[in-house]
Structure 1
Amino acid sequence: MEEDEYMLLESMAGCFGFLVLYILVKLVHSIWWKPTSTEKLLKKQGIKGTCYKPFKGDIPDMNKCAREAASKPINLNHQIVPRVFPFFHKMVRKYGEVSVCWFGRKARVIIVDAELTRLILSNKNGQLTKPPRDPLIKLLTMGLTSLEGEKWSQRRKAVTSAFLLDKLKAMLPAFSYSCCTMIERWQKFVEQNNGSSELDVTSELDILTGDVIARAAFGSSYKEGKRIFDIQKEIAILVHDALTNIYIPGFRFIPTKKNKKRYKLDVQIKDILMDMIKKKEHAMKEDESEGRSSNDLISILLESREVGNSLTTKDVIEECKLFYFAGQVTTKNLLAWTMVVLSIHPDWQEKARQEVLDLFGKEQIPPDFEAINRLKIVSMILLEVLRLYPPVPVVSRYTTCETKVGSMTIPAGVDLYLPVLLLHHDGRYWENPQEFNPERFSQGVSKASKDQNAFYPFGWGPRICPGQSFAHLESKMALAMILQHFSFHLSPSYSHAPCARLTLTPQYGAPVIVQCISI
């Protein structure tokens, strides 16, 4: 009996020892062997950069650079790269257009090259995907952006159908109504303040773009959607916090204060959207019985679900969450930066205003679709602002296996970081890149730069933003109507402080003095 017990204990000890050895081997592989092997392979190809440091890598340096850059505003010019991406800026200046740094134990290859960027974003063979992220981040950006393969292809088809030309034209009255509401509100502010009023246009345009999406994409009023926007902002702050820290598997299940808040907000937003979906389903049944059709995003997705598509109600909720965030925040920031830039360059503000008045006359009637398409100067200005202040200043991809990129062989498990902002400010591709010069787009995007592959405000390739036409149309109408009614210049309280918080945003807001124009 004692011998049997001894053999059992010996067997258990052997199993335990094997388990410990297995864990040690996995740790050594993960923490040392794989990163150092990746480092050697990259350096062998001439890709320079920082040396691998176990556990944290370059994260302390990244955070230090970001804190120092964010501590003070910059001069009123468009040389914003060192403030927005201080670490990337330092890496590119020191190591060149392709360099490697370390986010914890994961290699990040920073690429500031137009052709390589195009190759990476055009990849269709499944070797380059969206980087795996902390599951907490997915609370904000699930839906289309998180999918791959056939599921992504089916979902993309359903979402893209919401932004076809006829659908956009049908949304125009909603755009117009939202813009008119904002113009009337601004006019009241000006009247109450003796002819001019200071407005933080980031807050004002937050209301406008929220209203546009709520009405045009979901058929509801801004009042109904406002709670969703407020929740999305809170989640975005928590997501930004997660992005700047190393992901620890299983950490999201620990009931920390931030984790509990994240999940509470996620439940709230899903409940609101579920209620909106139920109302929309009821309204769609009534419309069908009366021969009417709906053109908003949520209706199109629900119809897609009904005709055999693999979409579930959960999928519809995720796409709604994504569109609320992506559609609202990016367009708000584009318009805010446009008003800042036109305040810095009043000559271009006047040129754009004259074009608007020449096309639309002096009756202050909201422009129609054809009139908006004739706004050449306004379009050139928006494109140049997208170049200088791209809403999404960096995109990334992840190598699922060893992948050929140009002449480079990138190992599996590497993040490819494509800082669009640096590319848009690169003198190799743009004449006087720090200068605001809308004329460079006078013959279209393809002839604006020395290399037609150097402009990526909405991404590129199969995963290019499906809502870019929506954003362009909304931005042109909003800017045209603002120019039609107001002149504006920067408030003395304005501080020029672009910063990357998921999107490129003014750190301290954008206070602007607006005045009604006499026509």
Structure 2
Amino acid sequence: MEVSGMFSMIFLSCAAVIVSFCAWNILEWVWFRPKRLEKCLRQQGLHGNPYRFFFGDFKEMTRLQKEVWSKPMSLSDDIVTRAVPELDQCLKKYGKYSFLWYGSKPTVIVWEPEYVRDIFSKVDAFQKPPTPEVRRMSNGVDSLETDKWAKHRKLVNPAFHVEKLKLMVPSFYLSCAEMLSKWDEIIPNEGACELELWDYLQTLTSDVISRTAFGSSFEEGRKIFELQCEQAFLVMDMERSVYIPGSRFLPTKHNRRIKEIRKEVKSTVMRIIEKRLKSMRSGEGSGEDLLGLLLESNSKEIKARGSKFGMSMEEVIEECKLFYFAGQETTSTLLVWTMILLGKHTDWQSRARDEVLQLFGKRKPDYQELNQLKIINMILLEVLRLYPPSYMRIRMAMEDSKIGNLTLPAGVQLILPIILLHHDKKIWGDDVNEFNPMRFSEGISHATGGQMIYLPFGYGPRICVGQNFAMAEAKTAMAMILQRFAFKLSPSYSHAPWAMVTLQPQHGAQLMVEKIKD
């Protein structure tokens, strides 16, 4: 009995130590650490709401978002209040030097151009915050850091080289021609017809990325698009709540569906890759699409330096998933806001059409001719200013860091609000919220005065690798649309930009479209 009692005492003592350790770590996570960080930030003149246990500002953020999303806004490009209501309210309440609470994490709003430049440039000191697995769209280069990021970026870059991009323009043309042929069937020869363009443009960019990423397997790519769209909505829904470590293992409806989507997307991509590898082994070559170029780049690196310098098959799959999602999302939002703004500003639409017809008439453009579209380029740059697809970026200080006069403790998050920089009256002038492509008539550098204030594709080493791809695709689509159709906003259009994964039209994009007579 004495021995048994001694073992019981030891067991209870160990259990008490473990429980105490876990309780201390939980309290450190949800209370002591946030309060230390809050004190440090306030001592440096930063302001924000007092820390609320566990939830921080999440409940207020959710309330604000639901409020602004409940109704459309006026037909204005002054969209900050609707797109990022939590940032707008925080800045109005506390001023430029302020912070929000994303759960237990204080998040400083940083939009001094020189501070933004430093943060984007110092990729090791300021990294993307760790994202729970269940909330990631992919584990591709966009979510990697340090040496792993550098390795993947090096292997992905060749797929987006300008010389390779030229070979993809025919795929842009083919996908766009298919969309326009559908419009031809619907729109009468005389008069206009209302079209919901958001659906068409999402399908267009899905087809483009399917063809350019997977070549002849683009039909399978369409299924990936549908699944990843569903996943994005599920992830955004989860982003509006605090993540509890380990919750991804709970058999919730969201978790089960995300797991199903990932499994199906992975198996679809794997089938496409295996088919391509079989072709390569039989001597048919890797192909000139993004998948083929990535496999070729990876193979060369492994042969030259060894397997540890290349990607595993799992990593190739994740990069393909990222190709698909990022390539489709960014360009579809750029195109839909371009159509909406040109439907509102028909004078600019006419100028753009005249430019297209003067340069290459009704025939399809080649890559070099796309680069001569000065007016369309100005229009796209202005659309990206007013409606940046990636409207803000978040980084985390990985170590105690200094930015300007601020000393940021390790663990503090930073919001880089691209949309605020793009809509700052002090930077852009009194017409900041007006559509004025002429501001880019002499290029980006002249428009910004060399300041770090225009960031639709980010900046620094991690600048979007697909920016030239997106711009070439958008120019091709707009040129082909303008050759054949004129359009204006429909009376049924409701202006309602909302921030999902990208900045999208909440209620779609209804335009009146008519054929241009020869």
Q: Same fold (TM over 0.5)?
A: yes
What does 1:402-441 correspond to in 2, within 5 Å? 402-431=400-429, 432-441=431-440
Does the 8 Å CA contact 1:198/1:514 hold for their aligned counterparts? yes
The CA distance in 2 between the partners of 1:311 and 1:215, in whole Å, is 23
Tell me how far 1:158 sits from its aligned partner: 1.2
- Which residue number in structure 2 is paired with residue 282 of structure 1? 278
| Alignment map for 1:96-135 (pairs within 5 Å) | 96-124=95-123, 126-135=124-133
Residue 289 of structure 2 corresponds to 296
Q: Which residue of 1 aligns with 2:306?
A: none
Q: Counterpart amino acid of 1:398? A: M
Please state whether the residue corresponding to 2:402 is helix, strand or coil.
strand
What is the CA-CA distance between 1:500 and the residue it aligns to? 0.3
Q: Shift in Å at residue 450 of structure 1? A: 4.7
Does the residue aligned with 1:49 lie in a helix, a strand or coil?
A: coil
Structure 1 counterpart of 2:253 = 257
Residue 159 of structure 2 aligns with an amino acid whose one-letter code is A
Q: How many Å separate the matches in 2 of 1:219 and 1:298?
A: 8
Deviations 1:415-441 (A, max 9, x none): 111111111001121122101110000
- Partner residue of 1:206? 202
SS in 2 for 1:108: strand
| Cross-structure match for 2:375 | 377
Q: Distance in 2 between matches of 1:293 and 1:222?
A: 16
**CA–CA separation in structure 2 for the residues paired with 1:436 and 1:472:** 19
For these two proteins, the number of residue pairs brought into alignment is 510
- Helix, strand or coil at the partner of 1:454: coil
Q: Counterpart of 2:98 in 1: which secondary structure?
A: strand
**Residues 514 and 222 of structure 1: is their aligned pair in 2 closer, same or farther, counting only changes over 3 Å?**
farther
1:480 aligned partner? 479
Distance, in Å, in 2 between the alignment partners of 1:128 and 1:63 is 27
**1:156-179 CA-partner distances (Å, limit 9, x unpaired):** 011111111110011111111112
Call closer, same or farther: CA 1:25–1:225 in 2, change over 3 Å. Answer: closer
2:173 counterpart (162, 173, 176): 176
Kindly indicate whether the alpha-carbon contact (under 8 Å) linking 1:134 and 1:242 is maintained by their aligned counterparts in 2: no
What is the CA RMSD across the aligned residues, in angstroms? 1.5
The answer for unaligned runs of 5 or more in structure 2 is: 303-308
Q: Which residue of 1 aligns with 2:349?
A: 349
Instruction: Tell me how far apart the structure 2 counterparts of residues 425 and 512 of structure 1 sit (CA, whole Å).
Output: 26
Q: Which moved more, 1:41-50 or 1:378-387?
A: 41-50
CA distance in 1, matches of 2:441, 2:244: 49
> What secondary structure does 1:218 align onto?
helix
Where 2:511 maps in the other structure, the secondary structure is strand
Return 213-222 or 348-357, whichever deviates more.
213-222
1:495 aligns with 2:494: yes
What are the Cα deviations for residues 254-310 of structure 1, in whole angstroms up to 9, with x where unaligned? 112221111111111111111111222233345x45xx6622111122123323042
**2:217·2:272 contact (CA, 8 Å) conserved in 1?**
no
Distance 2:91 2:449 in 1: 20
- Structure 1 residue 122 displacement after superposition: 1.0
Taking the TM superposition and a 5 Å limit, the aligned residue runs for 1:130-145 are: 130-138=128-136, 140-145=137-142
- In structure 2, what is the equivalent of residue 266 of structure 1? 262
Q: For residues 26 and 209 of structure 2, what CA distance do their matches in structure 1 show?
A: 47
**2:242 — aligned with what?**
246
Range moving further from structure 2, 14-23 or 50-59: 14-23
Q: In the alignment, residue 188 of structure 1 is paired with which amino acid?
A: E
- Report what 2:230 is aligned to: 234
Q: Quote the offset at 1:451 in angstroms.
A: 5.2
The percentage of aligned residue pairs carrying the same residue is 45
Rounded Cα–Cα distance in structure 1 between residues aligned with 2:29 and 2:438: 51
For residues 19 and 267 of structure 2, what CA distance do their matches in structure 1 show? 45
Name the SS of the counterpart of 2:414 in structure 1.
strand
SS at match of 2:194: strand
Structure 1: 5+ residue runs without aligned partners?
none
1:160 aligns with 2:149: no
Where does residue 212 of structure 2 map in the other structure? Answer: 216
Q: Secondary structure at the match of 1:397?
A: strand
Whole-angstrom distance in 2 between the partners of 1:405 and 1:310: 35
Q: Tell me which residue corresponds to 2:319.
A: 319
- Cα deviation 1:458-489 (Å, max 9, x = unaligned): 11111110000000000011111111111001
Conservation of the 8 A alpha-carbon contact between 1:404 and 1:410: yes
Amino acid at match of 1:480: A
CA distance in 1, matches of 2:317, 2:11: 49
CA distance in 1, matches of 2:21, 2:171: 61
Q: Please give the TM-score of this superposition, normalised by the length of structure 2.
A: 0.95
For 1:239 and 1:199, the matched residues in 2 are separated by: 29
Structure 1 residues 386-465: aligned runs within 5 Å: 386-431=384-429, 432-450=431-449, 452-465=451-464
Q: Is the 8 A contact 1:100 1:107 kept in 2?
A: yes
- Tell me, in whole angstroms, the C-alpha distance in 1 between the residues paired with 2:59 and 2:28: 23
**1:318 partner amino acid:** E
Counterpart-to-counterpart distance in 1, 2:16 and 2:288: 64
State the TM-score, normalizing by the size of structure 1: 0.95
Paired residue secondary structure (2:184): helix
